Amino acid sequence: MTTVPKLEMRHISKTFPGVRALEDISLSAYAGETLCLLGDNGAGKSTLIKTMSGVHTPSSGEILIDGEVVRFDGPHAARTAGLSTVHQYGGTVPLMSVARNFFLGAEPKKGVVPFRRFDERTANTIAVRELQAMGIRRVTDGRQLAGTLSGGERQALSIARAMHFGAQVLILDEPTSALGVKESSETLKLIMRAKDRGVAVVFITHNAQHALAVGDRFVVLIQGRVAASFTRGEKTKSELLNLMAGGEEFEDMEEEIEAMRRAKEVARHA
């Protein structure tokens, strides 16, 4: 295992006019490992991803890749540096073929200039091969429409695409939150395959169970700060859930609900 993290964020803060969205965030993602970023809605997960992937520039702090300080002046720069973000719905066009989706924006070409064209045969072959390598065996023809794939398979398409184009850090933004139970487990398997191939995976989720299933390192965000940072096996699921909900606040809330229930009981008997 390398000791230098593939991607490291040091004391990152991000301020928007009037709002401090991120405060002093430090985290590391290692090649061949999964870093889970957990947090409730509004905890600052999406601001953090956007800062990581070059959409926002941090107000202070440093981002390092392979130990070198980098500055991204846009998502394209981040992508060139090997950071690839896959969003919730996979970013595929349903009425286009699997292969055309796979190579969208980076199409293989053949022929001389006035007759230069999309090399569909090559695209089909590579797309099918890469999808099979990600364990999607049902796709045997690159001409199949992406819209005929399941949600999990579409995620696989995006992940396979990112890896084919040399992603070294794979940022998965809530990949399981729109999926059913079975498809979620497919996606979790994809995460395992991606890290087996030496990619540093950053897995953003608010599902503690999904995180614990595949994570090696965990960072819990609350109100733009790192509330906890630990490695696999250090916390149980219920500890993690309590952390995400803000610890004591979660217990307070349980008490409040209990009090409401009791008040209702009293009202009914009165």
Q: 199 to 228, contacts with other proteins by CB under 8 A?
A: none
- Binding residue for other proteins (CB under 8 A) from 116, 121, 197, 237? 116
Q: What is the 3-state secondary structure (H, E, C) of the chain?
A: CCCCCCEEEEEEEEEECCEEEEEEEEEEECCCCEEEEEECCCCCHHHHHHHHCCCCCCCEEEEEECCEEECCCCHHHHHHCCEEEECCCCCCCCCCEHHHHHCCCCCCEECCHHHCEECHHHHHHHHHHHHHHCCCCCCCCCCCEHHHCCHHHHHHHHHHHHHHCCCCEEEEECCCCCCCHHHHHHHHHHHHHHHHCCCEEEEEECCHHHHHHHCCEEEEEECCEEEEEEECCCCCHHHHHHHHHCCHHHHHHHHHHHHHHHHHHHHHHC
| AA identity, residue 235 | K
**Closest approach of Cβ 49 to other proteins, in Å?**
13
Count of residues that bind other proteins according to CB under 8 A: 31
**Closest approach of Cβ 142 to other proteins, in Å?**
12
**Closest approach of Cβ 164 to other proteins, in Å?**
13
Is the CB of 119 or the CB of 239 nearer to other proteins?
Answer: 119
Task: Please tell me the distance from the alpha carbon of residue 169 to that of residue 197, in angstroms, as a whole number.
Answer: 11
Residue 121 is a binding residue for other proteins (CB under 8 A) = no
Q: Considering only 62-70, 116-124, 195-203, 222-230, which stretch makes contact with other proteins by CB under 8 A?
A: 116-124
**Closest approach of Cβ 148 to other proteins, in Å?**
3
**Closest approach of Cβ 232 to other proteins, in Å?**
31
Is the CB of 87 or the CB of 232 nearer to other proteins?
Answer: 87
Q: 82 to 111, contacts with other proteins by CB under 8 A?
A: 85, 87, 91-96, 100-101, 103-107, 109
Contact letters for other proteins, residues 130-149 (x by CB under 8 A): -------xx-x---xx-xxx
CB count in 10 Å sphere of residue 43: 21
Q: Considering only 4-12, 29-37, 61-69, 117-125, which stretch makes contact with other proteins by CB under 8 A?
A: 117-125
**Closest approach of Cβ 104 to other proteins, in Å?**
4
Binding site for other proteins (CB under 8 A): 75-76, 85, 87, 91-96, 100-101, 103-107, 109, 116-118, 120, 137-138, 140, 144-145, 147-150
